[in-house]
A and B are shown apart, each in its own frame.
Chain A
């Protein structure tokens, strides 16, 4: 599977370096290595979800309890989590670090991903959620840190889009 193990490791290391100790996740192809890394790391609590919206509640609880967390999800998972994001994290001003795999954009071969890819950024913008793209391994650590800094200073959700250029190594 041409998901980039090296870049997944870079993203994971950046999350850990920024203090993240709890990750909630629902598997998708681009996230397999990231989730495995979280599962294998004794310093990280991995919570495998049934639906992404649960992750918002879990991150809220973790934040109240002083633990930094991140959500790992596909853009369709983000779309499934919107009510929790709005009426949980935004209503209660909770920092939320969301890593969203940006499926369905240029280069996508799976027809079922394409509608989600067409709306993800527009929906994030409509929700006034700041977006940063992770598209180059050399800037990942810096951008993860910046995203978390803003999430905490603003007490709000922020989105890091995991892009095809970063996550996928075309054969």
Chain B
């Protein structure tokens, strides 16, 4: 299963959502499918995408929020899982693309390839709904269920450690940031 196929499979379900992604492959691949004003790419501040999503979810409870996270980023802010779980915004779906690798800096293996199971970590942190998908069908089914559940969900998608050829796109960081803020102002 590839991350870009996962993103393609659920792209049409992001219409109404505030979407926050991590840096690198996730941001570049989502943009390759098609950028929208409701997508914000946190191109640095590794680990904080879920925190940004939490801030939005708590501030706009009526807006569905989707965070596309990664195993390296989650491991860098494991405490953030406990904060997410503590405030458990019902309007947040937290997707973790787990490729067991720090892909964008050369493919160094993370602990999820050795021993750490992030869906179980999230469950133990107190996230009320968790799932782990290894096929596209499972991923779409679990993502759809998470959107309908109205309960904080962490969905781990085990994906191949492959990504796009380049990570820099022609969308400026600040252009994206202000466009996203204006989108949220209208919600």
Contact = CB atoms under 8 A, between A and B. Distances in A.
Given A50-B82, A84-B48, A59 B177 contact: no
Interface string B127-160: 0000000000000000000000000000000000
Nearest to B87: A47
Chain A CB within 10 Å, residue with most, of B43, B44, B52, B180: B52
Interface residues of B, number: 37
A72 to B, nearest CB: 15
A54 B180 CA distance: 20
A88 B45 CA distance: 5
B116 interface: no
A65 B59 contact: yes
A169 B56 CA distance: 38
A26 to B, nearest CB: 10
A91 B45 contact: yes
B8 interface: no
Tell me the dominant secondary structure on chain B's binding face: helix
A6 interface: no
Interface residues of A, number: 31
Interface string B36-76: 00001011111111111111111110010000000000000
A54 B45 contact: no
B185 A58 contact: no
A48 B51 CA distance: 12
Contact of B180 (A50, A53, A64, A91): A64
Contacts of B184: 64-66
Contacts of A61: 20, 51-59
Interface of B: 18, 20, 40, 42-60, 63, 77, 79-80, 82-83, 86-87, 173-174, 177, 180-181, 184-185
25 contacts: A22-B58, A47-B54, A50-B80, A50-B82, A53-B47, A57-B42, A57-B45, A57-B52, A57-B54, A57-B55, A59-B55, A61-B54, A61-B57, A62-B59, A64-B177, A65-B59, A65-B63, A66-B185, A67-B55, A67-B59, A87-B46, A88-B44, A88-B45, A92-B42, A92-B173
